[in-house]
Structure 1
Amino acid sequence: MTAPLLSYGQAGNAVAGLAVLTGRVSGATTDSVVVSLRENLLEPAEKLFRVRLSSKGEFRLAVPVSGPTKADLVYGDDVAPLFLDPGTDMDVRFKGSDMAGTLKFKANNVPTGLATKLRNGASLTDEQRHRQQAANANNYLVEADAQFVENDGFQVLPDNIQLYEAPFLSFLEYRRKHEFEFLEDHAAKQSFTQDFYNYAHAEVVYAYANDKLTFQDLREQVVNTEGRLKMAPNYYNFLREPGLLNEPNAAQSELYHEFLLNYVHFAVAQDHHQRTDPDFYPACYALASKKLTGQSRAVILGRVLQESFRFGHVKQAATMLADFRNYDLKTPFYPGLLADFNQHKDFAIGAPAPDFTLASATGDTVHLHDFVGQLVYLNFWKTTNGLCLRDLAYAQDLMHRFEGKNIVFINIALDENEQAWRQLVAAKKLPGVQLHLGGGLRSALAQAYALQDVPTYLLVGEDGTFLNIRPKRLSSRAAVDEISESFGKASTYTMAIELAAGKK
């Protein structure tokens, strides 16, 4: 491929460490253009660089970048992919009413008419060549997005997921073939940096691998009329391909990291670990530590830690976090993970569920501790929330399925209008324990349960400790199995926490 990435000093228009975008919006519909990028692969928050348009719709935006990076161009509600690196200097043009359909990139200060001569480099300086490569890369992303992302025929959802194994694999092969042909055709006609070519190639490879890996699980979730498909004995053999797990040239691809995380989940599940088991995330961490190398190892270990925090396995994560601190000497991930751990550590599986004293729809006073010895399914909801109302029918069906079992369904309404809540409970004859919480999300109890929105579901074990802080939704077909498998598990988590505490 082409020469590696170059950056430039003050002698040129591009400055080392900056990607420059200038341009114009025709028929502007909003007053600013934004570039967003993620500086930390473990942080969902993106850094935004915003610039206001002039009266003529013109703008200039300089974005600091430390190396090749995926970013997004945002205009109003429209988002388009970008690939930036130090030395990028492009002119950006589009219509305000249709950014995706009209977006074009052109290298700044590169003589026109020479684009076709880039392969032999005639008449262009290194700086000019790099600018042209950056413009080529971003035009490719726009065209690839229109060809494959916006085309439903190349998407797994909603239709292709319903296929059986053989036709689904044919679909994936068909898509991969066309994506590779599209990439190689553009790479032959234009000039890309090696970094961009590696990124674009990895996006094709790991879109295929990820969709193939997750097909069985995703189909089971989406196709409710059928059970789980039984795959051919050799279906997952592709996971043994050399270099699939550890590919340094794929480091900029989010699809690569998503595949690695899904691979870890899959491999651990194959070893008979369930996500609700206390050893699931330690097993994921151990497998990633063994199988992965380089920066991607740090990224996936960090992702496993984040999952263990957010799904309530905080106590078991303490040892993993200490190990990560010793390993993570070259990346900036540990401080953020430590803050994440501290935020979640008091709201974890095995931690006591905050007690409460609330009035029921029948006028009784109800405490959580009244139900020690029973499994408790908590549902925080509001009568004015559409999702909550949709789940009412599923809630009644779920309670009917577990009638006579050692479980109680407690529904806590956060409505400000208590009378409206009482009327709905009476009119619908809602089953289970119906309670009202004054103060809504601002109440002390809502904060004690870390509520951010409704509906929120929680499963409390027979010992009064959190058993699952993110159980399946009432409307999920898997909710019945999940609850059935939860009886008597509280002692398992309590024991795991006591053992972890004893090792400190």
Structure 2
Amino acid sequence: MSFVSRTFALGLFAAALTAPLATQAQSTVVLTGKISGKTADSVAVSVREHPLDPKEQLTYAAVNDKGEFRLAMKVNGPTKADLVYGDDVAGLWLEPGTNMDVRFKGDDLATSVKFKGKGAQANTYLADFDERFVENDGFQVLPDNISLYEAPFVSFLDYRRKEEMKFLKDVQEDQTVSPAFRNYVKAEVDYSYANDRLTFQDLREQVVATEGRLKMSPTYYDFLNDASLINNEAALQNENYQEFLLNYVHYAATAAGHKKGDPEFYRVCYNMAKEKLQGPARPVVMGRVLQESFRFGHVKQSAAMLDDFRASVDKSNQFYPVLKADFDAHKDFAIGSPAPDFRLVSAKGDTVSLQDFRGKLVYLNFWRTTSGLSLRDLPYAQELAKKFNGQNIAFVNIALDDNEPAWKQLVVSKKLAGTHLRAPGGQRGTVAKAYMLQEVPAYFLIAEDGTFLNTKPKRLSSRAAMDEIKESFGKAATYTSAQPAPGKN
């Protein structure tokens, strides 16, 4: 993994934050070079033009028979980018006026790339940092050190930062690189440390399944009291800074007693970002929270927050169009959106619709008799159906089978519990398309009012499935009641 893609790479992140997109002055960057052992006919530079839009802009250049290329592109200021050749990627730092000779081996771009010319020194630092710290597992947060307890984990982070600071000293004293680049590298060191320390407790809980959540010492999170760490315009060009701010808002909401999965979680995060953050990073992080809400929050809360964002935060309309398109792309399957109805024939021969289960929690399981993973989950489905027998939940299983006799024989011979239906046409059929199924098994939790409660619940075979179902009874009503206007926690 290259330095540029160490976290959520944003390409033109800084430029997008420091001026409206449409009015930024552009300047040309030129890369010429030669590839030893050509393996592809083109080379490209990839940048992200908008900090909230995942789409990347690729600028291509042809590679001739000698392995030579020339690539020219416009940039809106200091820019993080990717140099892409085949499946290999290396980080780039580009600024107006950059004019470099770039050379590398065709089968080993990342570790063989060399730079000469204007901008070469900064890019050489990037490559060196990548080799010393990013590609070196000894400096990465991996399961082995995530499993540590607090004191040894902090010692690991302190040692890594000490070594990175030695590298940073050389960069800070080198006047041939720009202040923007020096700020970028300093932020890389500062916010990789802050991010890893901030997320350690959550990561450890996921990795170490044999222990409960680690209780941290009273002073563990004191580093967050540094106001300059939160609002730091000098770090705007570094993607780790934005990721840290998003994690910081999550932490602040959790510390205030709101858990992920609670109906009001993303609304609280949105309001905390609005209140605690300043400057150009504020709308970006609020936008990131909105994008999380579009995927995991309630559709009505998301719509209300989006309206508030447009009216009170993004008056220049720099971010709203991207966010509105993202909301529209996810709203049909968001929590609170109505689940598509269906009318299908059951294994018993009667016609059943989703509406028949209105008033009950519905665990919807799409499967197929020829799917090994689906068949493996069947015993767990039976066990769950028995454990929740007599409670206000229906286990509805829809088979995407064209072979009706084989499906019916399996259901009857195995005496499968729950309601069993078959959707004609399989994954090309109307029901599969309505639920946008890409594979089976696929699961959905549908609330008592017929709206989506969870489009990716725990699998039937998961130990956590039972707890998740228990917590889902009546949850739609709590979402409905947790709808105060944005701005109120």
- Aligned mates of 2:427, 2:244 — CA distance in 1: 36
Residues 296-328 of structure 1 show CA distances to partners (whole Å, capped at 9, x for unaligned) of 101011111111112242211223222211321
Asked if structure 2 preserves the Cα contact closer than 8 Å seen for 1:459 and 1:467, the reply is yes
87 and 452 in structure 1: CA distance in 2 versus 1, 3 angstrom threshold: farther
Q: Which letter does structure 1 place at the counterpart of 2:264?
A: D
* C-alpha spacing 1:207/1:439, structure 2 compared with 1 (3 Å): farther
Match of 1:258, as an amino acid?
Answer: E
Are 1:75 and 2:85 counterparts? Answer: yes
Matched, 1:335 2:345: no
CA deviation digits over 1:429-453, x for unaligned, max 9?
7654443333344433334334455
The answer to whether the Cα contact below 8 Å between 1:349 and 1:493 also exists between their aligned partners in 2 is: no
The 5-angstrom pairing of residues 81-120 of structure 1 reads 81-107=91-117
- Partner residue, 1:314: 299
Q: In 1, distance between residues paired with 2:310 and 2:206?
A: 36
What's the offset of the Cα at 1:396?
Answer: 5.6
Q: Relative to structure 1, is the Cα distance of residues 164 and 24 closer, same or farther in structure 2, using a 3 angstrom cutoff?
A: same
SS at match of 2:45: strand
| Secondary structure in structure 2 of the residue aligned to 1:337 | helix
2:201, 2:417 → 1: CA distance?
Answer: 35
Distance 2:197 2:310 in 1: 34
Aligned to 2:186: 201
Aligned to 1:240: 225
For the Cα contact (< 8 Å) 1:70–1:82, is it kept in 2? Answer: yes
Q: Does 1:250 align with 2:238?
A: no
Conserved 8 A contact 1:467-1:493: no
| Pick aligned residue for 1:297 from 274, 277, 282 | 282
Where does residue 308 of structure 2 map in the other structure? Answer: 323
Q: Is the aligned partner of 1:151 residue 2:136?
A: yes
Give the C-alpha shift of residue 422 in structure 1.
5.9
* Distance across 2 between alignment mates of 1:198 and 1:170: 25
Equivalent residues of 1:312, 1:347 under 8 A apart: no
Q: 1:210 aligns with which of 195, 201, 215?
A: 195
Q: How far apart, in 2, do the equivalents of 1:284 and 1:298 lie?
A: 13
Stretch deviating more after TM superposition (223-232 or 179-188):
179-188
Distance 1:385 1:258, change over 3 A: farther
Query: Would you say the 8 A contact 2:310–2:317 is kept in 1?
Result: no
1:167 aligns with 152
| 1:49-448 alignment runs, 5 A limit | 49-107=59-117, 131=118, 134-188=119-173, 191-326=176-311, 327-330=313-316, 332-361=318-347, 363-382=349-368, 399=385, 402=388, 404-415=390-401, 431-448=417-434
Deviation at residue 189 of structure 1 after TM alignment: 5.9
Deviation at 1:169, TM superposition (A): 1.2
What is the Cα deviation at residue 473 of structure 1?
A: 4.4
CA contact (8 A) 2:121 2:177 kept: yes
Q: Larger deviation: 153-162 or 26-35?
A: 153-162
Superposition deviation, residue 427 in structure 1 = 8.5
| Structure-1 separation of matches of 2:50 and 2:369 | 39
Corresponding residue of 1:113: none
Distance 1:233-1:100 versus aligned 2 partners, 3 A rule:
same
8 Å contact from structure 2 (residues 204, 213) kept in 1: yes
1:211 is displaced (CA, Å) by 1.2
Q: Quick one: which amino acid aligns to residue 291 of structure 2?
A: Q
Q: Amino acid of the residue matched to residue 370 of structure 1?
A: D
Q: Name the structure 2 match of 1:125.
A: none
Match in the other structure for 1:10: none
User: SS of 2:453's equivalent?
Assistant: strand
Residue number in structure 1 paired with 2:38? 28
SS at match of 2:80: strand
SS across alignment from 2:93: strand
1:463 aligns with 2:449: yes
Structure 2 spans left out of the alignment, 5+ residues: 1-13, 15-24
Shift of the alpha carbon at 1:261?
Answer: 0.8
**Secondary structure, counterpart of 2:366 in structure 1:** strand
Q: What's the CA shift for 1:33?
A: 1.0
Of residues 43, 50, 53, the one that matches 1:40 is 50
* TM-score, length of structure 1 as denominator length: 0.83
> What is the distance in 2 between the residues matched to 1:47 and 1:212?
33
Is the alpha carbon distance of 1:190 and 1:294 closer, same or farther for their aligned partners in structure 2, counting shifts above 3 Å?
Answer: closer
> Aligned partners of 2:281 and 2:388: how far apart in 1?
44
**Cα distance in 1 for residues equivalent to 2:127 and 2:373:** 36
Where 2:81 maps in the other structure, the secondary structure is strand
Aligned length: 461
**Which amino acid is the alignment partner of residue 356 of structure 1?**
F
Contact 1:149–1:155 (8 Å) recurs in 2: yes
Quick check: 1:311–1:470 contact (8 Å CA) kept in 2? no
The structural deviation recorded for 1:482 is 2.8
Q: Match of 1:92, as an amino acid?
A: V
Residue 119 of structure 1: aligned partner: none
Which residue of the partner structure matches residue 123 of structure 1? Answer: none
Q: Any idea what SS the aligned residue of 1:201 has?
A: helix
Where do 5+ consecutive residues of structure 1 fail to align?
6-14, 108-130
Let me know the Cα RMSD of the aligned residues.
2.9
Read off the aligned partner of 2:113 and give its amino acid letter.
Answer: L
Cα distance in structure 1, aligned partners of 2:194 and 2:407: 49
* Alpha-carbon spacing, 1:204–1:463, altered in 2? closer, same or farther (3 Å): same
- Deviation of 1:246 (Å): 0.7
| Alpha-carbon offset, residue 222 of structure 1 | 2.0
Identity among equivalent pairs (%): 63
- How far 1:65 moved relative to its partner? 0.9
8 Å contact 2:299–2:336 — kept in the other structure? no
**Contact map agreement 1:36 1:72 (CA 8 A) in 2:** yes
- Asked whether the 8 Å contact 1:276–1:468 carries over to 2, the reply is no
User: TM-score, normalized by length of structure 2?
Assistant: 0.85
Report the 3-state secondary structure (helix = DSSP H, G, I; strand = E; otherwise coil) of the residue aligned with 1:36.
strand
CA gap 1:272/1:439 in 2 versus in 1, 3 angstroms: farther
Distance 1:456 1:448 in 2: 13
